[in-house]
Structures are given as structure tokens and as C-alpha cells.
A and B are shown apart, each in its own frame.
Chain A
Amino acid sequence: MTLSLGHYLVLGAALFLIGLFGALTRRNVIGILMSIELMFNAANINLAAFNHFLHPGGVAGMTVALFVITVAAAEVVVGLALVLAIYRNSKTVYVEDFHLLKG
């Protein structure tokens, strides 16, 4: 029994869809951020898998995955700081209560 690219693609797609479902349905804004992290990870699995199976010996896919990890870290840091600032003003973490910009 040998592993092919399809195994990793199915796994990446499943992880992405779980993350997408969570991002669309969670009410808690931190839950949405965590779901987005799952989607980033699905993309990283696909990058590493394509690198391994289609360009054996190359490292470009892994390098791009490292950049994705870095951008995800920056995104989650700023996102959590924003969540803290919003919570300090409106005392809620539920996205349907975030209507600061609504007139």
C-alpha cells in the first residue's frame, strides 16, 4: 500500500472544509479565527504535498508554506489584539453584536 498525492489532497480538502464550515457558523470571533487557522493549515499541507510529489528534491513549496505560516502568525496577532480592543469597548465576543460601524 503506497501513499499517493490524492491521499494528502483529500485530507487537505477535508481540513479546509471543516475550517470553512467553522468560519461560517461559529458565533464566537475567536472560534472564527481558529477556523481560519485550520484553513491555512490545509493550504500548507497541500503546498508541502505538491512539493513532495510533483517536485521531489525541490523546496519552493515548503518555502512558500513557511511564508504562509509567518503571515498567519502576523494575522492572528493583529486579529487577537483587535478582538481584545473590541471586547474592552463592547464587552462581547459574538460577531452578531459587532455593529460599531452600523449607523
Chain B
Amino acid sequence: MIEAIAFYSMAAVTLAGAVLVVSLRNTVHSALALGLSLAGVAGLFACLGADFLFAGQLLIYVGGIAILIVFVVMLLGRASDLHLRQVNAQWAAALLVCAITGAGLWRLGALYRHASSQVPAAATTRAIGLLMLGDFAVPFEAISLVLLAALLGAVFFSRKDIS
């Protein structure tokens, strides 16, 4: 029962935040709603027993990416943006694409609908660390190169005298 309450409240937070992200006109409010939605996802990870993922989601997404987006939103844009339409004219086509994708996802998800598990939650951090330095060692090293490249790219593109 307590799991169901936790799941439904976190799902409500996540979906409400997501709807606000795509529907609000003010981009600053949109970015704050993104932080709310990401925090809801972190709560869902906690419901799933993924403790390390919960902490990582809060640290990286809520504490890093959402704050970064808020900073950039405040650097860009003008006050007149608040009076402009924030969606393009293709919402009907986008709705159609979403409906078709949703139907496909529904068909696929129906294959697994009734799987449930009663395994008690256990700490996962040690197992994740062992897996990352074992089977996932090559992706683990590659991801550090990706992060280095992203760091250099961010510095390169945000230089003042880009020529």
C-alpha cells in the first residue's frame, strides 16, 4: 500500500512537471518545472529500489542540469518573449506523431504488463561499482573521454572571440 502511494504521488509530480515544461510560456518557469519533474523521477528511482541512481539523479539532473538550464535561460531572451507564442503551428501533426508512437509503445508494453517482483530492496552501490570496473570497464573509460570532449566543446563554443 505504501509503495502504491509513493508511486502515484511521484508519478503525479513527474507528469505535472513535464506538462508544465512543455506548456508554460515563460521559459524560466518552464526550467523550474523541469527541476520538479526530474526530482519526481528521482523519487520513482527510489520506489524502484535504485538507491545510487536516486542520488545520482538528484545530484546530476536536479542539482546540475536543471540549474545550468535556469542560468542559460536567464542569460538569453528578452522580456518581450513573454508575449510571443511559444509553440509552432505544427501541433496537430505533432499530436498525430505522439498518438502513433503512443500506440506502438502500448503494444510493446503490453508484452510485459503483468511482471511483478517481491524481492526486498538491497543496496546497489557496491554492485554498480564492481560492474563498472568489470564488464562495463570499456564504456566507463569511453564516457570519461565523452565528458572531456564535452568540457572542451563547451569552452570552445562559449569563447568570446569565436571566429
Distance to closest chain A CB from B123 (angstroms): 10
Beyond A11-B14, A13-B106, A52-B49, is A84–B57 a contact (Cβ under 8 Å)? no
**Contact among B19, B31, B56, B162 with A69 in the assembled complex (CB-CB below 8 Å):** B56
Interface string of B113-156 (1 = CB under 8 A from A): 11111010010100110011001100100010011011101111
Nearest CB in chain A to that of B5: its residue: A1
Beyond A20-B97, A27-B88, A45-B41, is A77–B69 a contact (Cβ under 8 Å)? no
Interface string of A60-89 (1 = CB under 8 A from B): 101101110111111111101111110110
Q: Is the CB of A62 within 8 A of B21?
A: no
Beyond A25-B22, A33-B69, A54-B115, is A67–B88 a contact (Cβ under 8 Å)? no
Query: Which residues does chain A contribute within 8 Å of B47, judged by CB atoms?
Result: 3
Distance to closest chain A CB from B117 (angstroms): 5
Query: Which residues does chain A contribute within 8 Å of B79, judged by CB atoms?
Result: none
Q: Is the CB of A93 within 8 A of B77?
A: yes
Interface string of B1-37 (1 = CB under 8 A from A): 1011001000100110011011000010011001001
**Contact among A17, A25, A45, A84 with B102 in the assembled complex (CB-CB below 8 Å):** A17
Residue from B22, B44, B114, B143 having most chain A Cβ neighbours under 10 A: B22
Instruction: Let me know if A57 is at the binding interface, CB within 8 A.
Output: yes
Instruction: State A4–B112 Cα separation when bound (angstroms).
Output: 9
Total chain B interface residues with beta-carbon distance under 8 A: 86
Query: Which residues does chain A contribute within 8 Å of B157, judged by CB atoms?
Result: 78, 81-82, 84-85
Distance to closest chain A CB from B107 (angstroms): 11
Give how many A-B residue pairs fall within 8 Å (CB-CB). Answer: 242
Query: Which residues does chain A contribute within 8 Å of B124, judged by CB atoms?
Result: 59, 62
Q: Is the CB of A4 within 8 A of B113?
A: yes
* Interface of chain A: mostly helix, strand, loop or mixed: helix
Q: Is the CB of B69 within 8 A of A34?
A: yes
Q: Is the CB of B102 within 8 A of A13?
A: yes
Instruction: State A77–B147 Cα separation when bound (angstroms).
Output: 10
Query: Which residues does chain B contribute within 8 Å of A2, judged by CB atoms?
Result: 3-4, 116
**Could you list which residues of chain B lie within 8 angstroms of chain A, going by C-beta atoms?**
1, 3-4, 7, 11, 14-15, 18-19, 21-22, 27, 30-31, 34, 37-38, 41, 44-45, 47-50, 52-53, 56-57, 60-61, 64-65, 68-69, 72-73, 75-77, 81, 84-88, 90-91, 93-95, 97-98, 101-102, 105-106, 109, 112-117, 119, 122, 124, 127-128, 131-132, 135-136, 139, 143, 146-147, 149-151, 153-158, 162
